[in-house]
Chains A and B, each alone.
Chain A
Amino acid sequence: MPELGCRSREFSQVANAVGGLRLGWTDMLEGETMSLSRRDLMKLGVVGGAALALPLERTVSAGSIAQSRLASSRLPPPFTLPFRVPEPLRPYRTDATTDFYKVYMKPLQAEVIPGLRTPLWGYNGLVPGPTVRVSQGRRTVMRQVNNLPGRHPILNYTPWTSVHLHGSASLPQYDGYASDITNPGQYKDYVYPNTQTARTLWYHDHGLHHTAENVLMGLAAQYQLTDSLEQSLPIPHGDYDVPLLVSDAMFASDGSLFFDNHDESGMYGDVILVNGVPWPTMKVKRRRYRFRILNASVSRSYQWSLDSGDVLTVIATDGGLMPYPQKVQRFRHGAAERYEVIIDFSKMPVGRRVVLRNTSPKNNIDYVNTNKVMAFDVVGDDFDPAANSVPDVLNPTNPTMLLTARDAVRTRRLDMVREHGRWTINGHTWDDVVKSKFSLVEADPREGDVEVWEIRNPSGGWFHPVHIHLIDFRILDRNGRPPMPHELGPKDVVYVGENETVRVVARFEGRGKYMIHCHNLVHEDHDMMTQFVVRADQDVFDPFSDPCKSLPEANDL
């Protein structure tokens, strides 16, 4: 065995053998006798090697379990798959005033990409979920049962849920308050008043921390509210009133969804899905169609246009019919916004294909075919000529659209800012709300107050579709200029683009706490969400006042 405390010559021999060490050590020693023996070096080598290698190995192995993205060559070419419409949801039972529904959130395997099975989660096992159609004045009770697995199969989180009926002035305890959650194995009965004007709503998950993932997995569907005015208009109804849930997704090589939130900036897919089908083709007759376009994407915004150059006639926005239809060549559409659009195929020859295109607004991540959405193939079949026009006037007396800045009793400001890696509103996040025991609010209007809210996005690097729960609002201006033509209707989400300041005016009717958040769901989850309270002389409603129950279901629906 070598003697401990070898001299410099011996060390130099070792160092020569370990070439990389030689220069540094001999330089540092400057001719001194090295007191580390070969045995010392071996001991230090063992511990130093462990210190260097084990953490690196852990990091590399963590990276290696990342999903591998499905090659674009495996994706279906655009316009090769048939269009389909989501199934309707039938009431479980009805009585004189109320329709009762049961919805089971559960896993499914879908063949979204031909030849591959994609694990998804759906309302009643459907993606998109079933469409609810209700009439104004009839109350809805919707039992939402969380039959999801205890863990997400890839992302390993507990998929608690909170169902938000987006566009409904629901009571706080039925509004999908993010922290009012339903765990797997629990259920909750949501009550919806349906007292508002006709509109396209949607129900989607709003569970704290993982709304983006739950919605991407499929927990989203349309909910259509009708009223007598909407039914009386000669606009397309029935088969010619078509829901379009547009979303985007990316897939892994095994067919599962591919998750990448790009450092929490957003999830952007290379596949555009319409009603869950990649770039579908729809056969259309030579007449007008009404499309209820919902941007159900997690993050992506779109700018629609037709490759034929024909106009899109926008007749309704988030809060229902516009005062007057607006003809546009193209329009911008942020996440969660709804626009009802008439497309006139009557002058197009049979056999003509018209493509709905997307000229992507900036700060999205685009791929080869994200500039295409779906195709319409004109066919010569007979059709019902009724309800095939667009009147010049739709709903000129919508109270929201009659509000002006002069009606407001105060102006408030919301600053949408990324600070230290966190998405904030006025410097606050939902974690701040939770830490305050849900007492922190950004605004506290009294019931019936009209207020102007000025929403600012000082960044040029991203946009925010800002959603204010409970209310409909009117957009007053954007950077001091009039709103865009397609925005001239009642809204509950406003696209606050890069370096934009948008002013909206609203009347606050209702009582209790409601959320304000960015509807880029990745921003929302991380953690661009806060709340306001509508104060009243009577007690305000508590979002936690009607919590979920554990299964089995009670027979009380």
Chain B
Amino acid sequence: MSTSTSARRTDPGTGPPPPAGAVPVSRSRAAAALCCVAGLVHLLVAREHVEVWALAAFFFITVSAGQLWLAQALWRGLNARLVPAAVLLTSGLVALYVLSRTIGLPIPAAGEVGLSESHHAGPQVPGGQGNGVPVLPGSGAGTAIATVGPLDLVCLVAQLGALALLVGLLPAGQRRSLGNLLLAVGLCGWVVWGLVHFT
């Protein structure tokens, strides 16, 4: 089992090896740092989501808390049995991000604070037929698809890095299974993109 293999691999000069069931320290701490970055970004953006939809802000605060908890757990030496859950949760967040920036989620987009559709997300126009909110070219306003910003990229890169490190911490069998699942999801994304653009 790679768990025991991993347990044998410790940082040089860090003293006695960690207890059985814990993941390697250096990779674990690298993943911790990246999870911490992602958690802080989610905390940072929670505030602007408050203005649009309080539930979204609650979601981001929850995600942030989870990632910061994961970061400290990884830093201290996360039990290897929790690594698959961490991989799946991080993958899920990445998937949600991709959906929100490509086809949109049925929630107001915080990136559009100050733009039309977020202002008018709540009340409907009595008797109005269709959507009366103009979509200015290039603005993305009037749609639920958020645009990619610098914080998005920072958070995404951190999460992808953490994901890779966490996958690397998995036992070979789980790594293969989860790796195949991620591959399937990634391929689906590319296939859908290809269908949309070339058919």
Residues of B within 8 A of A183 (CB): 127-130
A54 and B193 contact, Cβ closer than 8 Å, known pairs A66-B138, A155-B136, A431-B123:
yes
- Contact, CB under 8 Å: A157 / B138: no
Residues of B within 8 A of A367 (CB): none
Interface string of B141-181 (1 = CB under 8 A from A): 01001011000110011001001110111001001100110
- Contact, CB under 8 Å: B179 / A259: no
Cα–Cα distance between A548 and B125 once the two chains are bound (Å):
14
Contacting residues of chain A (1-59) with chain B, CB-CB under 8 angstroms: 4-5, 28-36, 39-40, 43-44, 46-52, 54-59
Contact of B186 among A50, A150, A184 (CB under 8 A): A50
Interface size on B, residues (CB 8 A): 69
Contacts between chains A and B (CB distance < 8 A), count = 206
A58 and B102 contact, Cβ closer than 8 Å, known pairs A50-B189, A264-B115, A429-B119:
yes
Cα–Cα distance between A55 and B109 once the two chains are bound (Å):
14
Residues of A within 8 A of B26 (CB): 28-30, 32
Residues of B within 8 A of A44 (CB): 160, 163-164, 167, 179, 182
- Contact, CB under 8 Å: B137 / A66: yes
Cα–Cα distance between A44 and B185 once the two chains are bound (Å):
10
- Contact, CB under 8 Å: A157 / B132: yes
Residues of A within 8 A of B156 (CB): 51-52
Asked whether B40 is an interface residue with its Cβ less than 8 Å from the other chain, the reply is: no
Cα–Cα distance between A32 and B168 once the two chains are bound (Å):
12
Tell me the nearest residue of chain A to B115, going by C-beta. Answer: A264
Contacting residues of chain B (80-128) with chain A, CB-CB under 8 angstroms: 91, 94-95, 97-98, 101-102, 113-116, 119-120, 122-123, 125-128
Asked whether A62 is an interface residue with its Cβ less than 8 Å from the other chain, the reply is: yes
Cα–Cα distance between A183 and B175 once the two chains are bound (Å):
57
Tell me the nearest residue of chain A to B116, going by C-beta. Answer: A526
A259 and B136 contact, Cβ closer than 8 Å, known pairs A31-B12, A46-B183, A421-B51:
yes
Residues of B within 8 A of A264 (CB): 114-116
Residues of B within 8 A of A210 (CB): 132-134
Tell me the nearest residue of chain B to A35, going by C-beta. Answer: B168
How close is A262's CB to chain B, nearest CB, in angstroms? 10
Residues of A within 8 A of B119 (CB): 422, 429, 431, 526-527
A40 and B168 contact, Cβ closer than 8 Å, known pairs A28-B27, A62-B140, A65-B137:
yes
- Contact, CB under 8 Å: B186 / A208: no
Tell me the nearest residue of chain B to A50, going by C-beta. Answer: B189
- Contact, CB under 8 Å: A36 / B134: no
- Contact, CB under 8 Å: A260 / B135: no
A55 and B97 contact, Cβ closer than 8 Å, known pairs A30-B12, A40-B179, A43-B183:
yes
Asked whether B24 is an interface residue with its Cβ less than 8 Å from the other chain, the reply is: yes
Residues of A within 8 A of B41 (CB): none
17 contacts between A and B (CB under 8 A): A28-B26, A43-B183, A51-B156, A54-B102, A54-B189, A55-B152, A66-B137, A155-B134, A155-B135, A155-B137, A157-B130, A157-B131, A213-B134, A259-B136, A260-B136, A422-B114, A431-B122
Top 5 nearest A-B pairs by Cβ distance? A66-B138, A421-B114, A55-B101, A47-B186, A158-B130
User: 12 other contacts beyond A46-B190, A160-B132, with CB at 8 A cut-off?
Assistant: A4-B172, A30-B12, A35-B175, A40-B179, A44-B167, A46-B182, A50-B185, A50-B186, A55-B152, A156-B134, A259-B134, A264-B114
